[in-house]
Structure 1
Amino acid sequence: MDAALGALNIIPAWRLVGRVAEVLQTAKPDDFNTFACDSLELGLEGITGDRHGGFSRFSGGREPYYPRGTEMCNERQLSILAPDELGLIAERMDIDRLEAGWIGGNIVIEGMPHLSLIPPRTRLVFAGGAVVRVDGDNVPCRSAGKSIAAQFADRSGLDLAFPKLARRLRGLVGYVEKPGTILPGEEVTAHIPEQWIYQPES
């Protein structure tokens, strides 16, 4: 066991600073699309009235280990995106742009390279005091693809292309650890935890 620990390549905890480019929320609870707003009010339940808000949610296709519709902790209160990754997805899909609101984004952060690869347990600490805990990367789904396809009626197959072309570029999902207000333009610091690759002994 000691030898295994000694062989670990441990990357120390570190910090990364970026800036909030945009905040968005739904116009009505059942709407998938989100729209730019002046500020984002976060409670422990997420965004009040948002379709992804709440302390719990029901399992779906992402949780094959539970029967569909099982009530579970809601670790997907917020969708966090990056402008450069949205641009790369658009390039891969051969469309002129991809707006964060088309795929239900809530917080767009610039200045953090490879945002979608930021590891779970990272704390996003916003200058105004709000803290969002990262659960992990957001696996792209066909629902978001359909929303994109609706913007380009002259193109076919975009709904199926998005899940394939947006993998590890679709941003992060997270939950509110400390309530507060997030404003466009404010600084945000990612407190990235110590990391290593877990590999069972052979």
Structure 2
Amino acid sequence: MLDLLAPLNGEPQILPARKFTGRVAGLYVAPADHFETVAAETLRLGFEGIEGDIHAGYTRRSGGREPWYQRGTEMCNERQLSIVSPDELATVAQRMGLAEIKPEWIGANLLLAGVPHLSMLPSGTMLFFKGGVTLKVDAQNGPCRIAGRQIAERANMPDIEAGSLLFPKAAKRLRGLVAWVEKPGTIVAGEEVSVRVPEQWIYGA
């Protein structure tokens, strides 16, 4: 029988959609003046993101991640929430010689357990929370020196500058994801999440 998913004559590879479940292991919100988050029992989300969070908003200003725009250009805010994995944080901590890296230190809003290779979930992945909220993944969250410095300071590393430089290397493709709110509502700690990975088209031309 013809395999309809097999690439033909060098055409893009197509991977089937997948679905599995995870669990909310932690919730966090950032004050309006700093990216470091604090633990919360619930997150109230509107279309603009988390109420009161520093990254909330329908739009945001471009930065170093968008070199194609002049810095400070107003653009759509697809980075309303930061999502991380306990397993990946543990790996990064081990690489940096630390006992732990807390989600709060790097400004995470959501700690999602039970999802293998969280940071590798592709753009367009949907997160359906049992309470009704839906988030859509935009992309990986690239590790930076600012978060690295925060880790180095909070972990009392002897060389703060070295720690800030080490984090981007240790956390490459392990820093988690950024996402935006497709369907608002309230997320609670311990809530089940249905993760739906879309059909992927591996463009190789």
Give the TM-score of the pair, scaled to structure 1.
Answer: 0.94
1:49 Cα offset (Å) = 1.7
1:153 Cα offset (Å) = 3.0
- 1:34 pairs with 32, 37, 41, which one? 37
1:8 Cα offset (Å) = 3.6
Higher normalized strand content (fraction of residues): 2
1:53 Cα offset (Å) = 0.7
Does residue 20 (structure 1) correspond to residue 24 (structure 2)? The answer is: yes
Aligned equivalent of 1:178:
183
- 2:132 pairs with 109, 129, 132, which one? 129
Aligned equivalent of 2:65:
62
Residue pairs, 1:97-112, within 5 angstroms: 97-112=100-115
Q: Whole-Å Cα distance in 1 between the matches of residues 148 and 20 of structure 2?
A: 30
Change (3 A) 1:115 1:154: closer
Aligned equivalent of 1:75:
78
Q: Secondary structure at the match of 1:176?
A: strand
Q: Secondary structure at the match of 1:196?
A: strand
Aligned equivalent of 2:168:
163
1:155 Cα offset (Å) = 1.9
Aligned equivalent of 2:194:
189
Q: Whole-Å Cα distance in 1 between the matches of residues 105 and 65 of structure 2?
A: 21
Q: Whole-Å Cα distance in 1 between the matches of residues 132 and 142 of structure 2?
A: 28
Q: Which runs of 5+ in 1 are unaligned?
A: none
Q: Whole-Å Cα distance in 1 between the matches of residues 10 and 203 of structure 2?
A: 13
RMSD over equivalenced CA pairs, Å: 1.4
- 1:91 pairs with 82, 89, 94, which one? 94
Q: Secondary structure at the match of 1:50?
A: coil
- Percent identity (aligned): 52
Q: Secondary structure at the match of 1:150?
A: helix
Q: Whole-Å Cα distance in 1 between the matches of residues 141 and 157 of structure 2?
A: 28
Q: Whole-Å Cα distance in 2 between the matches of residues 5 and 116 of structure 1?
A: 31
TM superposition outliers: structure 1 runs of 4+ over 3 Å: 3-8
1:181-202 Cα shifts (integer Å, max 9, x gaps):
11111100111100121122xx
Q: Whole-Å Cα distance in 1 between the matches of residues 20 and 69 of structure 2?
A: 35
